[in-house]
Amino acid sequence: MTTYKAPVRDINFVINELLDYQKHYTQVPGGEEATPDMVDAIIGEAAKFAEEVLAPLNQPGDEHGCKWEDGNVTTPPGFKEAYDLWVEGGWQGLSHPAEYGGQGLPMSMGLIKSELVGTANWSWGMYPGLSLGAMNTLLVHGDEQQKNLYLSKLCEATWTGTMCLTEPHCGSDLGQMKSRAEPQQDGSYKLNGTKIFISAGEHDMAENIVHIVLARTPGAPEGTKGISLFIVPKFLSDNEGNVTERNGVNCGNIEKKMGIHGNATCVINFDDATGYMLGKENEGLAAMFTFMNTARIGTAIQGLAASELAYQNAWPYAMERYSMRALSGSKNPDKAGDAIIHHGDVRRMLLTARAFAEGGRAMIYDAAKYADLMVSAPTEEERDAYENELGFLTPILKAFLTETGLESASNAMQVFGGHGFIKEHGMEQIYRDARIATMYEGTTGIQAMDLIGRKVVLDGFKLYAGFSKKLYKFGFSSLLKGKRRRYSAKLISYTLNLNWKTVKMLARASRNRDAVSAASYDFLMYSGYLSMAYYWAMMAEVAAEKLDSADSGDREFYQAKLETAEFYFSRLLPRAKAHAAAMDSSTDSVMGMAPERFTLR
């Protein structure tokens, strides 16, 4: 069975020593509340809740799964009780405005909370996680009355939220959506249609569920330009939030899936369901991106969570399993074999997961600063700039960290040998749960096209230039006066190479636009390795700087940080070379085969 211990020392390293959250919090609203003591207290309490309440429910939740009967969903034993404690603790509204019952802390505090909760029990964490998406959408696009009612209830967490996008015939391509919303005399709408893959779409943990639904009004333009957003509660209510009658919203079934068994993935049928328009007619897709960006960063956290949980549970096994002798001589001569942590390949697997976990944490926590700033910078221009920068990083975070999270989970199973395949150890569950992360909220391929297509080419290379500049700036500055200059040199060289390969690829694209889609995945993965290298280079500088004057416990911590950085630069970053070579290949090597030749051989 897996256990979870919140990596508090590493979190503190990232927010205090690497990213200087304290200074950052002087610049954002709610930051004045986030004093060092308050931050410590919140992390401590969230860690306790994650470790003691949620982690023990993770494996039983997988085993029991959710049960569907006549439209009702029963969550695994203990889930509801844990949720009641969550409500009591006031956790849901941590980063939402006080006027709707939240605590008004910066967004970044909410993301740290999400890491702890999600690592301990991803399936459980999805219930409040989906609410967050609905809350953010309401916050930005709701009118005052909608916010007072729905956002307040969601902050209180007595109601939960969902996002209803996907239909059986369309996922990423929302322009194909068919659900209909007919306007009524009273200003409300009647919704009809079927949505699938609705996470937390039905359950027994809260009094009411607020569905945020994409649908078309009569006469709406074809495609994505004719989509509007609606609030469709499971139970109707008065304006004070007292529920009245059941709405025409029903859970038709739940999916049988590979993992995240503790979360109900629902088919939701809307039969003349009453809904209320959220935001402007036909502008639903843009509004939906408010949710989508939150969800994508949330999913990036799932990748980090998989790396962290996998690493945490694999290293103790490697310390206690004795097999074979180390090549450099016996390390446990009193045992029949050496602990497998002395074998190079076991270390390779563990260090890979560790480097991805710690590197991923730095990437997400830095992005969280942009999330704070994009709602709080003084001018709209600045807010837009931060939003755009976060928008550039989002597909990298989402795709790269979920892909590496999967690899970490797979490595950690592999450390267990055949035992990794057996359910009782819990390692295979980490993998199964993590496997969805590269698929939902936009597959890796979709993220890759979003990055290279929308965020690089359509943006006219402005954000991409800014990203490169940030890396060069740090790289050259630390090349001149840093303590780990060979990392800076690598950072510069890999950035140059990406720039050059991108230019070449775009030159090919001027002849054949498919060059972009053929190279998109490799461009994204290269960007991911490079971006993580930037954080590892910075972390190595901080650790090297502090090593000599640190006390013994911290010295070990900084030493391990430097060793993990060395592993990252030696053994993981070079993978970008393979991605560069693939990016550099002919478009035809991917696009040349006629579809009919894919057929059986």
Residue 421 binds a second copy, judged by CB under 8 A: yes
CA 58 to chain centroid: 19
* Interacting residue with a second copy among 172, 388, 468, 497 (CB under 8 A): 172
* Interacting residue with a second copy among 67, 348, 469, 473 (CB under 8 A): 348
In the complex with a second copy, the residue whose CB is nearer, 366 or 450, is 450
Residue 518 binds a second copy, judged by CB under 8 A: yes
- HSE, side-chain direction, 13 A CA sphere, residue 526: 27
Contact 558, 546 (CB under 8 A): yes
**Candidate segments 230-238, 284-292, 315-323, 388-396, binder of a second copy by CB under 8 A:** 315-323
* Interacting residue with a second copy among 160, 166, 228, 282 (CB under 8 A): 166
How far CA 102 is from CA of 91, 107, 110, 558, in Å, comes to 9, 12, 11, 37
Residue 48 binds a second copy, judged by CB under 8 A: no
Asked if 63 is an active-site residue, the reply is no
> Quick count: other Cβ atoms within 10 Å of Cβ 44?
12
* Interacting residue with a second copy among 67, 225, 246, 423 (CB under 8 A): 423
Binding mask 362-401 for a second copy (x = CB under 8 A): ----------------------------------------
What's the chain's length in residues?
A: 601
Round to whole Å and give the CA distance between 346 and 340: 7
Residue 493 binds a second copy, judged by CB under 8 A: no
* Interacting residue with a second copy among 143, 173, 271, 384 (CB under 8 A): 173
* Interacting residue with a second copy among 26, 176, 184, 477 (CB under 8 A): 176
Binding mask 539-558 for a second copy (x = CB under 8 A): -----------------xx-
**81, 441, 545, 563: the active-site residue:** 441
Taking CB under 8 A as the criterion, which residues in 401-420 touch a second copy? 406, 410, 413-414, 416-418, 420
Considering the complex, what minimum distance in angstroms separates the CB of residue 322 from a second copy? Answer: 8
- Residues 418-439 as b/e (b if ≥16 CB within 10 A, e otherwise) read eebeeeebbbbbbbbbbbbbbe
In the complex with a second copy, the residue whose CB is nearer, 84 or 566, is 566
Binding mask 318-337 for a second copy (x = CB under 8 A): xx--xxx-xxx-------xx
Considering the complex, what minimum distance in angstroms separates the CB of residue 236 from a second copy? Answer: 30
Sign of CA dihedral 358, 361, 362, 363: positive
* Interacting residue with a second copy among 163, 516, 530, 532 (CB under 8 A): 516
* Interacting residue with a second copy among 2, 7, 487, 539 (CB under 8 A): 7
Considering the complex, what minimum distance in angstroms separates the CB of residue 270 from a second copy? Answer: 20
**Candidate segments 37-45, 138-146, 230-238, 344-352, binder of a second copy by CB under 8 A:** 344-352
* Interacting residue with a second copy among 202, 389, 428, 541 (CB under 8 A): 428
Considering the complex, what minimum distance in angstroms separates the CB of residue 543 from a second copy? Answer: 12
Pairing mode of beta strands 189-199, 208-215: unpaired
**Candidate segments 49-57, 270-278, 350-358, 466-474, binder of a second copy by CB under 8 A:** 350-358
Nearest alpha carbon to residue 231 among 127, 295, 150 = 150
Write the CB contacts of 61 (distance below 8 Å, at least 6 apart in sequence). 76, 78, 79, 121, 123, 124, 261, 262
Residue 77 binds a second copy, judged by CB under 8 A: no
Residue 163 binds a second copy, judged by CB under 8 A: no
Considering the complex, what minimum distance in angstroms separates the CB of residue 156 from a second copy? Answer: 31
Contact 133, 294 (CB under 8 A): yes
**Candidate segments 369-377, 387-395, 442-450, 537-545, binder of a second copy by CB under 8 A:** 442-450
Q: What amino acid is encoded at 267 in this protein?
A: V
Contact 112, 46 (CB under 8 A): yes
* Interacting residue with a second copy among 44, 183, 221, 344 (CB under 8 A): 344
Round to whole Å and give the CA distance between 60 and 67: 14
Taking CB under 8 A as the criterion, which residues in 207-236 touch a second copy? none
Write the CB contacts of 116 (distance below 8 Å, at least 6 apart in sequence). 6, 43, 46, 47, 49, 50
Residue 436 binds a second copy, judged by CB under 8 A: yes
**Integer distance in angstroms from the first to the last C-alpha of the chain?**
44
Contact 284, 384 (CB under 8 A): no
**For a second copy, how many residues bind (rule: CB under 8 A)?**
111
Round to whole Å and give the CA distance between 357 and 487: 19
**Which residue is associated with the tokens 């889930």?**
79
Contact 512, 587 (CB under 8 A): yes
Taking CB under 8 A as the criterion, which residues in 287-306 touch a second copy? none
Round to whole Å and give the CA distance between 310 and 595: 39
Taking CB under 8 A as the criterion, which residues in 98-157 touch a second copy? none
**Candidate segments 26-34, 122-130, 424-432, 530-538, binder of a second copy by CB under 8 A:** 424-432
Considering the complex, what minimum distance in angstroms separates the CB of residue 366 from a second copy? Answer: 18
Residue 180 binds a second copy, judged by CB under 8 A: no
Q: Where are the alpha helices (DSSP H) in 34-162?
A: 36-48, 58-64, 79-89, 107-120, 122-141, 144-146, 152-156
Residue 472 binds a second copy, judged by CB under 8 A: no
In the complex with a second copy, the residue whose CB is nearer, 349 or 368, is 349
**Candidate segments 76-84, 126-134, 351-359, 465-473, binder of a second copy by CB under 8 A:** 351-359
Element (H, E) at 286: helix 284-320
Q: Rounded to 10 degrees, what is the CA torsion of 491, 495, 498, 499?
A: -170
Sign of CA dihedral 58, 64, 65, 71: negative
Residues belonging to the active site: 441
